Structure 1
Amino acid sequence: MSPIRDELDLFPSAPSKQGEPRWVIHDPIRNKFYEIEWRVFEVLRRWHYGSDHHIATAVNRETSLNIDNDFIENVRNYLSSHQLLRADNKESTKLFLENIKKAKKSWLVWLLHHYLFFRVPLIKPDHFLNKTFPYVKFLFSPTILWSICITGLLGIFLLSRQWDIFFHHFVDLFSVKGILFFLIALVISKVLHEFGHAYAAKYYGCRVPIMGVAFLVMWPMLYTDTNESWKLKHRRQRFNIASAGLAVELSLAAIATLLWTLLPPGNIRDMAFVIATVTWISSLFINCNPFMRFDGYYLLSDISGIPNLHERSFNVAKWWLRETLFDLGEPAPEVFSNRTQTILIAFAFSVWVYRAIVFIGIAILVYYFFVKILGIILFAIEIVWFIGMPITKELFEWWKRKSSIIGNTRTWYSLGALSILLMLCFLPLTSKISSYALIESSAYNSVYSDVPGKLEKLFVEKGSTVKVGQVIARLRNHKYNYQLDQINNEIGLQLKLRNLTSVDTRLRQESSMIIARLSKLKSEKKSIEERIRKLTIVSPIEGKISEINKELTIGQWLGVGEKFASIKKDGQAQITSYVSEENIFRLKRNGTCRFYYKGGILPPLDCKVTNMARASEQIMDKPILSSSAGGEITLEPNNLNLVTPRDAIYKITARTINPKIKLEQSQLGTLNLQIENKSLAGSFWRWTTATILRESGF
């Protein structure tokens, strides 16, 4: 048996949660620590006996333990895999070289791994910490702790009285000064965070060899090497070191919060605000997170007394999954109480779900951050490395056990459950959609302004009878007349230039540009003339004026969508609504629907879809259904200064089935529409193909 390396150190460590003694092996060359249990410690004490049989016999005779040769073999493999044995004979040297060969990666794997995560050591702070520790030692006193607690409570109390001001202060972050303050606050808080860990380690006599920056998918994160905390005999001391950075940030947040409530407006108060928000959010939502290897993970590991919590919980969860699906009858990788085992399984699944969401989010961010072709490659790398590889490794474990899995009764149950789930995914589901709608007489139209202008004259009043095309009102907008004059002058100039191309060689070379410019100007002229035409408001139907906007006054400036009047004829009620591009193709032509009055003032009406637009609406003819009037459709100005829907919408109309309904005026409500059945798998496939087609353009 190869002897243990002479330079290794052995320290007593904190006992396990069950009270079992533990020790730590320290490899000073690599500054790595390995925690071992009592059985391994007793084996190492007798390692010089030279054989598995002699060591096992001595341990069983001299202690209350009961171990066998297989356990000694496992210990030897563990020591060898971590290079803790001396390579002083042919066999051990061969094993040592094999371990090095396994650890050696190809340049491609090395590049991928170091793109996803790598560390850059920056400073060796131990000497600096030794020199400065006497000046900061007072910060570890109970007096400082209570002072910070009181400061935090007072700051939160005063903040609660100014919460609206504090909340609205967030708007200032979206400025150049706000971003600069945010970066400064982030750097300050993270540097102090790491020095909190370092000084806490120094407080308990540990060496801090390295401080640096780690990059997770190119995102920088400071780190401090506090591995020597494993030498400490008390778990509480390790907990204090792990929580010191969090304590520093919370202290900084408490002080900054109180300062913000007391300081007058200015840059110092703005900086206090940014530091408070950055440190509160960073501390509570990032550092306390146990699902990634941040402070929260190490704190939870120390509290639970389960080192290497992620890997051990993963092993238990994977074992539970195999047993649940296949009932293999394998022993658990570790023995825990039923309650602890359940918690570890739930924790492992929570970590997997959380990491999947985070890594997919990071991959999408990288995809949009880089050039498209590089973004696709990096996106694929992250998905494969972080999500695909762990799943593939577990599938390989299943493949190793294929002889036990195939033919197992539980396997058939699992396959049956999987088949049912797949059937549900492909099963078309009945669904409905609701949209904001307007009900009015079938020969009922509300007349709105399509362009802005000043009201010059109103030609009708309530009760007036109008014919199709009869003028209702006239607007004036001098801006359009000015634009028309400008374009006419420009068109005249371009026509002269075009005529000169036959005699001017230089202009002849630019003839294609002149023709293109002339075509564009004519198109713009047509658009302006159309807007001028719309300044004259005419009746779209024959009927009676049932309603006049009483708020209109001569000389008043009116915007787009301003209502003038309502015109109606008796007949079936007509319902107008708008649906999204996704749903228009799933609506059933001539399908049934139901209209619900807003506020439930009248009973609902059964109706039938009569028309569905084939093209999206460029200008809403029912602006009362827009978000500015309480609807769901967001409008925004386009390059022609017209208000158009922000997203693609399609107009649908429906008529009530009951022909005897009479309406004195239009009413708002909700239209419930039946849409074609769609399966989850079909929806996912359509979304996937649409995304690929949308992003396939380079």
Structure 2
Amino acid sequence: MNSTQELLPPLREELHCTAGPRDADGAPTWTLHDPANNRFFRLGWVDFEIVSRWGLRQAEAIVQAINAQTTLQVDAERVATLGQFLLVNNLLRLQGDGGIQLLRKQAGLQQLSWQQWLLHNYLFFRIPLVKPDRLLAWLYPRVAWVYSRGFGLCICGCALLALFLISRQWERFITTFSYFFNWSGLLQYGAALAAAKILHELGHALTAHRYGCRVPSMGVAFMVMYPVLYTDASETWKLQNRRQRLAVAGAGMAAELGLAMLAALAWCFLTDGPLRSGAFLLATSTWIITLTVNLSPFMRFDGYYLLADWLGVDNLQPRSFAYARWHLRRLLFGCQEVPPERLAPRMQRIFVAYAWTTWLYRLMLFLGIALLVYHFFFKLLGIALLVVEVGWFIVRPIWTEMRTWKSLSVATWSNPRSRLSLSLAMGFLVLLLIPWQDHVNVPALMKAERYAEIYLPRAGRLDVWQLQTGSRVAQGELLAAFSSSELDFQAQHSALERVMVDRQLAYHGLEQRLATRRRIWLKELESASSKQAGYQLQRRQLEMRAPFAGVVLDLNDTVQAGQWLAEGQALMIVADLSSQLIEVYLEEADLQQAAGATAAIFYPEDPDLPGIACTVQAIEQGNSARIPALLASVNGGEIAARIDAQQQLVPEAAVYRMLLRPQADAAMPALAHPAVLRGSVRLDTPAISPIEKIWNRIVTVLIRESGF
């Protein structure tokens, strides 16, 4: 096919071409259908004129015919390019040994090893289940009324009525969610979701059948082993009217929304039971999840085809990707290459914006899938699949694009735009390699070194309560005194028990029968003495005394003498303000750098307060199992934490406690609540480069996850 005099291979006889929809710029298009593979190809005006004259069998003859019979001007190179496209897609009828060899070569290239097949298909593969054309031919006449205007108005009326009725019992409607957090609820949700998805796919299939399109198959697809139903509606490519294609793409979501509106109305009239529960699920979660997934235009779901048909752009993703790559090269290197296609300025902006948004979306999606795969499978396989995910779907496309930059001409690399891009890249590389990060900022808490929260150990009546916030107390000084009539009674009862046992032991020698019970009485005496000592200890605990000399803070001003208080009631805080300590919690990746800290400054959360110079006292070698409440994310702190079964705050990632002490000459701020102060600490450390810091984080994660 390189020579203009060489005979061109003929087109396959079963191919047929029909008029297609108008292009975005109003130009006519044609659709070439390959029925053997059920593939469709969109041809522009020039390509159609070439294909329609392919029977001339010579490139030069085709060129002369087009130039003479139309207003177009083409050359043999354009014919050769189209011929190569037809050859690659097996649209030509090849004959002879050369043709057979070429077909064998193409078949060999398409054959994949089981490893390659698994790599390409483990994330997404389809299993066709039915060929629904006969079912659709029987079903469509019986449900054709759903496409009428009257039915649409009826659904809108039902939606308005359902919203009105639900608004009158909104609280009851919302609280219904809590009924499904059990196995029975999950089964009901699965059944409702399956019904909604079947209706969704039938919506696509019936609408495609309505416009004369064949539906080759319906079945189930697996996305990261999660099953979803699918409908092969590829024949909608032959529809000339883009509104019809929009109708097919949106029919699934329209069917689910209609079902949701009817289910919402049914919920208002049904009595409590399985039917009402199913109606609630169909009216809420199922269609919301469907819209969230299907409306996304960045993956090839309904939203993508809706956007492509609305813009009037076939093959939106590959075309926008190709144009965005060309635009990137022109932006970075000032390339003067011909763009992949001529576009209006508005469409250029749409292509570039869509491509970049899709790339960023896929980057986050594939990273998320990689982490999902890692956590879903056992660790060794999870790591392998994580590497495959990141390498194949993220690193490989970037590396492929960068390899194409090597083919740029010398003139391109030497123009001002390229020099600017290279300068910026070198500057960024220098910033990564030069050790300039000489500090670490970490969350911290400054508090009194000796600090005690006083709680009531058991229920009692408050008898003595004479302190005030800010009162100074000496070690052992009475803070509050409580009494408990129940405890007094139990103490008296145990004392009487002991007296009785003592008397029995005193007279055990007078009678022989009493002497045989001596061991029993000794055990009872030991038990009675232990009970009495325990009750006395509890009575002493009701007298709250200062554990050390300090200042009373956060006095509970809601209690007063004579009041009965429950066990665990917070009473006050006693703090020794003569010495302060600062707790710092380091991430594992910052531990090595922070170990060489030469100076530190504590910055209170309140910007009006001055910084406090500190000295490093110690770093704990083991990670902290608990963190202070003020530093936890659940209380507005910076450390990600959760509440465990013991109602304790547990950090999500490993953190290490570092202790600092304010310098002797540091000016301490005057605080209304000086016992605890939240803030952050800047640790001055030996400088390291950003790339070294990134490497330390990677090594930390690898070490943490290395246990299989």
Residues in 2 aligned to 1:629 and 1:337: alpha-carbon distance in whole angstroms: 53
Deviates more, 1:383-392 or 1:76-85: 383-392
Choose the corresponding residue for 2:437, options 428, 439, 444.
428
Matched with 2:207 is: 200
Instruction: Give the Å deviation of 1:430.
Output: 6.5
Matched with 2:263 is: 256
Matched with 2:568 is: 559
Matched with 1:695 is: 705
Matched with 2:522 is: none
Helix, strand or coil: the match of 1:462?
A: coil
Residues in 2 aligned to 1:164 and 1:642: alpha-carbon distance in whole angstroms: 30
Answer yes or no: is the 8 Å Cα contact 2:603–2:610 preserved in 1: yes
Matched with 2:96 is: 89
Answer yes or no: is the 8 Å Cα contact 2:598–2:684 preserved in 1: no
Helix, strand or coil: the match of 2:331?
A: helix
Helix, strand or coil: the match of 2:66?
A: helix
Answer yes or no: is the 8 Å Cα contact 2:443–2:631 preserved in 1: no
Matched with 2:696 is: 686
Instruction: Give the Å deviation of 1:108.
Output: 2.0
Matched with 2:681 is: 673
The one-letter code of the counterpart of 2:216 is P
Deviations 1:103-142 (A, max 9, x none): 2223321232232322111001110110111111000011
Structure 1 residues 674 and 293, CA gap change in structure 2 (3 angstroms)? same
Residues in 1 aligned to 2:360 and 2:568: alpha-carbon distance in whole angstroms: 50
Helix, strand or coil: the match of 2:284?
A: helix
The one-letter code of the counterpart of 1:42 is E
Residues in 2 aligned to 1:675 and 1:643: alpha-carbon distance in whole angstroms: 28
Residues in 2 aligned to 1:654 and 1:167: alpha-carbon distance in whole angstroms: 53
Helix, strand or coil: the match of 2:26?
A: coil
Structure 1 residues 565 and 26, CA gap change in structure 2 (3 angstroms)? closer
Choose the corresponding residue for 2:131, options 119, 124, 147.
124
The one-letter code of the counterpart of 1:25 is L
Matched with 1:604 is: 609
Structure 1 residues 214 and 547, CA gap change in structure 2 (3 angstroms)? closer
Instruction: Give the Å deviation of 1:39.
Output: 1.5
Residue 18 (1) aligns with residue 25 (2)? yes
Residues in 2 aligned to 1:267 and 1:7: alpha-carbon distance in whole angstroms: 54
Deviations 1:69-120 (A, max 9, x none): 0111111111111111112233333332222222222332123223232211
Choose the corresponding residue for 1:144, options 146, 151, 156.
151
Instruction: Give the Å deviation of 1:539.
Output: 2.8
Residues in 2 aligned to 1:121 and 1:555: alpha-carbon distance in whole angstroms: 73
Choose the corresponding residue for 2:360, options 349, 353, 356.
353
Answer yes or no: is the 8 Å Cα contact 1:425–1:680 preserved in 2: yes
Residues in 1 aligned to 2:125 and 2:65: alpha-carbon distance in whole angstroms: 45
Structure 1 runs not aligned, ≥5 long: 479-529
Residues in 2 aligned to 1:404 and 1:240: alpha-carbon distance in whole angstroms: 50
Deviates more, 1:189-198 or 1:32-41: 32-41
Aligned length: 635
Helix, strand or coil: the match of 2:406?
A: helix
Matched with 2:394 is: 387
Structure 1 residues 294 and 452, CA gap change in structure 2 (3 angstroms)? farther
Helix, strand or coil: the match of 2:122?
A: helix
Residues in 1 aligned to 2:152 and 2:95: alpha-carbon distance in whole angstroms: 54
Residues in 2 aligned to 1:437 and 1:592: alpha-carbon distance in whole angstroms: 12
Deviations 1:214-236 (A, max 9, x none): 22332222111112222222111
Answer yes or no: is the 8 Å Cα contact 1:461–1:548 preserved in 2: no
Structure 1 residues 98 and 610, CA gap change in structure 2 (3 angstroms)? closer
Structure 1 residues 224 and 666, CA gap change in structure 2 (3 angstroms)? same
The one-letter code of the counterpart of 2:681 is L
Deviates more, 1:625-634 or 1:26-35: 625-634
Deviates more, 1:32-41 or 1:582-591: 582-591
Matched with 2:67 is: 60
Choose the corresponding residue for 1:462, options 456, 467, 473.
467
Structure 1 residues 171 and 680, CA gap change in structure 2 (3 angstroms)? farther
Answer yes or no: is the 8 Å Cα contact 2:632–2:649 preserved in 1: no
Answer yes or no: is the 8 Å Cα contact 2:550–2:574 preserved in 1: no
Deviations 1:527-556 (A, max 9, x none): xxx999999865332357677545567864
Residues in 2 aligned to 1:642 and 1:282: alpha-carbon distance in whole angstroms: 33
Residues in 2 aligned to 1:49 and 1:630: alpha-carbon distance in whole angstroms: 77
Residues in 1 aligned to 2:302 and 2:636: alpha-carbon distance in whole angstroms: 47
Residues in 1 aligned to 2:635 and 2:425: alpha-carbon distance in whole angstroms: 48
Residues in 1 aligned to 2:256 and 2:317: alpha-carbon distance in whole angstroms: 25
Deviations 1:570-598 (A, max 9, x none): x68x476664556787496763334466x
Residue 448 (1) aligns with residue 454 (2)? yes
Matches within 5 A, 1:260-299: 260-261=267-268, 263-299=270-306
Matched with 2:547 is: 540
Instruction: Give the Å deviation of 1:431.
Output: 6.9
The one-letter code of the counterpart of 2:705 is E
Answer yes or no: is the 8 Å Cα contact 1:548–1:566 preserved in 2: no
Answer yes or no: is the 8 Å Cα contact 2:473–2:550 preserved in 1: yes
Q: Which of structures 1 and 2 has the bigger CA Rg?
A: 2
Matched with 2:501 is: none
The one-letter code of the counterpart of 1:558 is E
Matched with 1:41 is: 48
Matched with 2:374 is: 367
Matched with 1:222 is: 229
Answer yes or no: is the 8 Å Cα contact 2:612–2:667 preserved in 1: no
Answer yes or no: is the 8 Å Cα contact 1:12–1:233 preserved in 2: yes
Helix, strand or coil: the match of 2:298?
A: coil
Deviates more, 1:326-335 or 1:462-471: 462-471
Deviates more, 1:152-161 or 1:267-276: 152-161
Helix, strand or coil: the match of 1:20?
A: coil
Answer yes or no: is the 8 Å Cα contact 1:197–1:241 preserved in 2: yes
Instruction: Give the Å deviation of 1:564.
Output: 3.9
Residues in 2 aligned to 1:145 and 1:55: alpha-carbon distance in whole angstroms: 52
The one-letter code of the counterpart of 1:591 is A
Structure 1 residues 14 and 636, CA gap change in structure 2 (3 angstroms)? closer
The one-letter code of the counterpart of 1:392 is W
Answer yes or no: is the 8 Å Cα contact 2:617–2:661 preserved in 1: yes
Answer yes or no: is the 8 Å Cα contact 2:632–2:638 preserved in 1: yes
Answer yes or no: is the 8 Å Cα contact 2:575–2:675 preserved in 1: no
Helix, strand or coil: the match of 1:58?
A: helix
Residues in 1 aligned to 2:280 and 2:610: alpha-carbon distance in whole angstroms: 54
Answer yes or no: is the 8 Å Cα contact 1:2–1:92 preserved in 2: no
Instruction: Give the Å deviation of 1:174.
Output: 3.2
Residues in 2 aligned to 1:408 and 1:665: alpha-carbon distance in whole angstroms: 64
Residues in 2 aligned to 1:335 and 1:124: alpha-carbon distance in whole angstroms: 40
Residue 593 (1) aligns with residue 602 (2)? yes
Answer yes or no: is the 8 Å Cα contact 1:472–1:539 preserved in 2: yes
Deviates more, 1:138-147 or 1:310-319: 138-147
Deviates more, 1:126-135 or 1:8-17: 8-17
Matched with 2:334 is: 327
Residues in 2 aligned to 1:21 and 1:262: alpha-carbon distance in whole angstroms: 53
Deviates more, 1:180-189 or 1:152-161: 152-161
Helix, strand or coil: the match of 2:196?
A: helix
The one-letter code of the counterpart of 1:191 is I
Matched with 2:502 is: none
Residues in 1 aligned to 2:429 and 2:541: alpha-carbon distance in whole angstroms: 56
Instruction: Give the Å deviation of 1:270.
Output: 2.9
Structure 2 runs not aligned, ≥5 long: 1-7, 488-536
Residues in 2 aligned to 1:147 and 1:378: alpha-carbon distance in whole angstroms: 50
Answer yes or no: is the 8 Å Cα contact 1:436–1:669 preserved in 2: yes
Instruction: Give the Å deviation of 1:265.
Output: 4.5
Matched with 2:534 is: none
Instruction: Give the Å deviation of 1:171.
Output: 4.0
Deviations 1:19-63 (A, max 9, x none): 222111111211111111122221122111120000110111111
Instruction: Give the Å deviation of 1:469.
Output: 5.2
